[in-house]
Structure 1
C-alpha cells in the first residue's frame, strides 16, 4: 500500500493532517481554522489550508476505500444540493438499510446519465445490490431500469419515500459540515473536499476495518500511514 507523500511541504505531516481533519470533521470556515491553528502556534494562511484539503482528501479517500468494511445489499439512494461557483450541483449518495454509507458522487446535472454514473461507481466498488429504494425521482428509476435491461444481474427497484428517509437524514450530517463553507469555488475543490467530509462521516459510523480502540481522529490520521 503506497503511503501518502508529504515531501516538499514547509509544514510537518501531523500539522497538515490536523488541518485537513478539522476542516472536514467540523462546521468551520478556513478563516476559523486559520485562527485555531494560530492559537496552537502554527502560522498558516487560509489559502494554504484550502490547498491541503483539496490535495490530500482525495488521497485519503483512496486509502479509506481499501480498508472500508463491507456494506449491506439493500440500498437507499438519493441526492442533495451543493453550491459550486454560485450554481447548484448534485451530490448523489447511497446508504444501506443500517445507514452505512455505500458511495457518493458529485455531478453537474441531475438526470439519468448522472444517476447511471453514480450507480456504476457504487457497483464497481461495492458490488451489485439486491434492491435499491428511491423516492419518486424519474431519473434514478430510469438509471436502475437501464442497468437491468442491459443484461446485468437484476436489481429490485422500490419507490417508497418513507423507506428513503434514512438517506435523507444522512444527507443532513454532511450538509451540516458544508454549510459554513458558503459554497465551493471550483468543481474539483468541491469534489475533493466532499470526499474528506464523507470519509470522516464514515469513520464516525464505524466503517473502517481493524479500527481497534482507535478514536475517529486516530483512524483518520492512520489512513496516511
Structure 2
C-alpha cells in the first residue's frame, strides 16, 4: 500500500498525474496545462515531486504483482542522459518480451552488471540462460553470480548465450523507454532519473499486460496503491 498521508490533493488526482506522465511522455509544463483543463491547478514542480516520490513505490508493487515470466532472459543496457552525462539503464526481458527487471547505473562495468543480476534474481526466479550481446562486463557479471551460487552451494549454473540476433527483442523494447525519455531532454539528477524510469518501466509492464488483462491502464496503475 502506498501512503498518501500529508498530500494536499486527492489520491486519485496524484495517481492520474503520475501515470499520465510516465505513460505518455509529456513535459511537466504540458501536464500542468492538462491538469488545469481538468480543473486541477497544480504547478509543474509539484508534478515532478509526485512522479519522483510515487513512481518507485508503484514499481515495487508491480514487481510483486506481475505475471510469471519465462526462464530465458534477454539482457542489455541503454543510455539515458543525466546532468549532461550518459548513464546506463540495465534491463532484462524474457523470450516473450515481458519485463523482468531494470536498474539505473552511473557506470557500465562488471560491478554494475553483477548488481543488476543480483537485484533481478532477488525479484524473480533463477533463469536457465541469459542472452547478452558481446559485452564483456555483462558476461563477467553472470560469471560472478555463478561463483556466488557455488560458494553458497546452490546447485545451479546460469548459461550465458552471446547473440545479437536473439537480443533484438530487448533492443526493440528499449524504444518504448527512449520514446518517453526523449522529451525530458535529460534528467537533472540521478535520483530523479531512477525514480522516473521506474514509473516508465511500470507503465510499460502494464501496456504489455504483465499485471493481467484490463481495459484501463490507469486503473491497473491506481490499483498498485492499494
Which category of TM-score, normalised to the shorter sequence, fits these structures? over 0.9
Equivalent residue runs for 1:87-102 within 5 Å: 87-102=85-100
Aligned to 1:128: 126
Match of 2:206 in 1: 203
- Give the counterpart of 1:73 among 68, 71, 74: 71
What is the match of residue 50 of structure 1? Answer: 48
3-state SS, counterpart of residue 161 of structure 1: coil
Superposed counterparts of 1:7-18, under 5 Å: 7-18=5-16
Quickly say closer, same or farther: Cα 1:201–1:212, change in 2 above 3 A.
closer
2:18 to 5, 17, 20: 20
Cα deviation for residue 224 of structure 1 reads 1.1
**Hey, what does 2:160 align to over in structure 1?**
157
Q: 1:174 aligns with which of 170, 174, 177?
A: 177
Aligned pair count reads: 221
User: In structure 1, what is the Cα distance between the partners aligned to 2:169 and 2:207?
Assistant: 16
Distance in structure 2 (CA, Å) of the matches to 1:213 and 1:62 = 20
CA distance in 2 between partners of 1:190 and 1:120 (Å): 21
User: Secondary structure of the residue that 2:165 maps to in structure 1?
Assistant: helix
Report the alpha carbon displacement of residue 170 of structure 1 after superposing the two structures with TM: 0.4
**Which runs of no fewer than 5 residues in structure 2 stay unpaired?**
none
Q: Which residue of 2 aligns with 1:146?
A: 144
RMSD of equivalent CA atoms: 1.1
> In structure 1, how many angstroms separate the alpha carbons of the residues matched to 2:92 and 2:187?
22
CA–CA distance in 1 between the matches of 2:213 and 2:29? 34
Q: CA deviation at 1:167?
A: 0.5
Q: 2:114 aligns with which of 113, 116, 120?
A: 116
- 2:214/2:220 contact within 8 Å kept: no
State how far apart, in whole Å, the 1-side matches of 2:72 and 2:201 are: 20
TM-score relative to the length of structure 1: 0.95
Question: Per-residue displacement from partner, 1:9-61 (whole Å, max 9, x unpaired)?
Answer: 22111111111000000021101100111111111110000000000111111
Alpha-carbon distance, 1:85 to partner: 1.2
User: How many angstroms apart in 2 are the aligned matches of 1:4 and 1:143?
Assistant: 33
**CA distance 1:95–1:32, change in 2 (3 Å):** same
What residue number does 1:222 align with? 223
Length-normalised TM-score, structure 2:
0.95
